[in-house]
Amino acid sequence: MSNQKVWFITGASKGLGLALAKLVLSNGDKVVATSRRVKELEELISPAAENFLPLNVDITSDEAVRRAIEQSIAHFGKLDIVVNNAGYSLVGSMEEMSDQEFRETLDVNLFGTVNVIRNVMPYLRKQHSGHIINISSNAGYVGFANATSYNAAKFAVVGLSEALAQEVSAFGIKVTLVAPGQFRTNFMEKGSMAYAKNRIEVYGLDKAEATWSSFSGQQIGDPEKLVRILTDVVAMQNPPVRLLLGPDTYHLVKEHRENEAIEFESWKDLTLSTSFD
Nearest alpha carbon to residue 242 among 173, 168, 179: 179
DSSP state of 138: G
CB neighbour list of residue 91: distance below 8 Å, 6 or more residues apart = 146, 147, 150, 193, 194, 195, 196, 205, 208, 209, 212
Task: Confirm whether 88 is a catalytic residue.
Answer: no
Contact (Cβ atoms closer than 8 angstroms) between residue 84 and residue 117: yes
Q: Which of 5, 30, 72, 150 is catalytic?
A: 150
Task: Confirm whether 154 is a catalytic residue.
Answer: yes
Q: Which of 14, 30, 154, 174 is catalytic?
A: 154
Q: Which amino acid is at 257?
A: R
Q: Which of 13, 72, 89, 136 is catalytic?
A: 136
Task: Confirm whether 136 is a catalytic residue.
Answer: yes
Q: What are phi and psi of 258, to 5 degrees?
A: -65, -45
What residues are labeled active site?
A: 136, 150, 154
